[in-house]
Amino acid sequence: AKALRSGGACFYQAEMDASVRVRRRLAEDLRGALAMGQLRLFYQPQVELATGRRTVHEALMRWRHPMRGFVSPAEFIPLAEESGLILTLGEWALRTACAAAAADPRMGRVAVNLSPLQFMQPGLPQAIATILAETGLPPGRLELEITESTLMQDQDRATVMVGQIRALGVQVAMDDFGTGYSSLGTLRAFSFDKIKLDRSFLREIGSSRQAMTILRAVLAIGQGLGVPVLAEGVETEEQRALLRAEGCAEAQGYLFGEPLPPEELGLRGSAAA
Ligand code: C2E
Ligand code: CA
Ligand code: CA
Ligand code: CA
C-alpha cells in the first residue's frame, strides 16, 4: 500500500486499463460464442435430504473460449448482462434446458437461472410459454431461479412478473437467499416455491454460532411459510448430517454431484444409487 502512494497511482491506472481491455475483448468474443458452439449447459443435481433422491437439475452455463479455455460464468454473465447479450443467451439456455428435460425424464425438474435484465422484459412470461409449448415440457417440470437483488430492483413490477410466471404453472425459486439487503422484506412481498440459502452460510456453520442460529431461523421461516429451504454448497458429510438433523429439506453441492454435461448425467447416479 505504501508503494502505491508514491507514484503508484500511475501504475495502478495502467493495470486498470489493461483489465478493462481484457474485459472488452472478452465481451466481443462472447458475442460470437453461441454461434460458434462454444457455449454449453451443464447440470447439477439438487437432492431431497431424507431420501437422497435427485429431484431437480440446475442448468449452469459453460463457455469454452478457444484461447482461454473455460471462462467462469461469474466472469462472463456480468459482461453479457452489460451488453444486453444475456437476453439472447438466456433464451437459448431456457430453450436448451427445457428441451433436455423433455427428452430425459431422469432429469426431473430443470432449474434455469434468470438474469436481472431478462426478468425485466415484459414479454418474458409469453416467451416462457412459447418455449414450453415448443419443447413439450410440462410447466411443472420447469423452475426459474431469481436472486433477491433482482427482485429488489423494482418490487412492484417484480411482484407482477413472479405472479405471471407462477400462473403458467412454472416454479419460482429465490436464489442466493441471505445475500441481499432485505431478505425478510423479499419473503414478505413475494410468494415462492423454494428458498435457496446462499452457500456462504454453510461455509461458516462449523465455526460460527451466529451462522447456526441464522440457519435455524431460516429453516423455521421456511416451515412457517410452507416453503422448502434448499442449502447451497454442501461439500461434506458433516454438513449433510447437520442439515438433516436441523430438518432442512433439500440440498445441492459437490457432495451430491458437480455440474456435468447432459451425456454424463444419470450415469454416475444410477451406478451409485
Ligand atoms: P448460482 O446460480 O448461485 O449457481 C451456483 C454456483 O455454485 C455454480 O457456479 C456452481 O457450480 C457452484 N457450486 C455448486 N455446488 C458447489 C459447492 O459445493 N461448492 C462450491 N464452492 N461451489 C458450488 P457456476 O456454475 O460457476 O456459476 C456461477 C454463477 O453464474 C451462478 O451462481 C449464476 O449466478 C451465474 N450463472 C450460471 N449459469 C447461468 C445462466 O445460464 N444464466 C444466468 N443468468 N446466470 C448463470
Ligand atoms: Ca442458481
Ligand atoms: Ca445460488
Ligand atoms: Ca450466486
Burial class (CB in 10 A: 0-12, 13-18, 19+), 104: middle
Long-range contacts of 244-251 (CB under 8 A, 24+ apart): 244/49, 244/50, 246/215, 246/216, 246/219, 247/219, 247/223, 248/49, 248/215, 248/219, 249/48, 249/49, 249/50, 249/222, 250/46, 250/47, 250/48, 250/49, 250/55, 250/194, 251/46, 251/47, 251/49
> Does residue 145 contact residue 196 with C-beta atoms inside 8 Å?
yes
The answer to whether the predicted template modeling score (pTM) of the entire model surpasses 0.95 is no
Instruction: Compute the residue count for the chain.
Output: 273
pLDDT of residue 267: 45
46-50, 71-75, 242-246, 266-270: least confident range? 266-270
Q: Over the stretch 153-188, which tens digit does the pLDDT of each residue have? A: 888 899 999 999 999 999 999 999 988 777 788 888
pLDDT surpasses 80 at 253: yes
Which residues lie closer than 8 Å to 124 by C-beta, 6 or more apart? 118, 161, 165
> Could you tell me the distance, in angstroms and rounded to a whole number, from the CA of residue 73 to the centre of ligand 1?
7
Residue in this structure with the C-alpha cell 416467451, named with its chain if needed: 127
Mutate to test the pocket of ligand 1, among 44, 57, 60 (most ligand atoms within 8 A of CB): 60
Residue 224 pLDDT level (bands cut at 50, 70, 90):
very high
- Nearest atom in ligand 1 to the alpha carbon of residue 196 is 3
50 vs 139: CA distance, rounded Å: 26
Ligand with an atom nearest the CA of residue 252:
1
Q: How far apart are CA 54 and CA 135, in angstroms?
A: 22
ipTM of this complex > 0.90? yes
Residue 131 has pLDDT above 60, yes or no: yes
Query: What distance in angstroms lies between residue 113's CA and the mean position of ligand 2's atoms?
Result: 5
Ligand nearest to the CA of 196: 3
User: How far apart are alpha carbons 75 and 47 in whole angstroms?
Assistant: 27
The percent of residues above 70 in pLDDT, for the chain, comes to 93
Q: To test the ligand 1 pocket, which listed residue (113, 114, 198, 201) has its Cβ within 8 A of the most ligand atoms?
A: 113
In sequence order, the 6+-apart residues with CB closer than 8 A to the CB of 208 are none
Kindly report the protein residue whose alpha carbon is nearest to atom 29 of ligand 1.
74
Closest ligand to C-alpha of residue 44 is 1
Contact residues of ligand 1, CB 6 A cut-off = 44, 59-61, 72-74, 77, 90, 93, 113, 115, 145, 175-176, 233-235, 252-254, 259
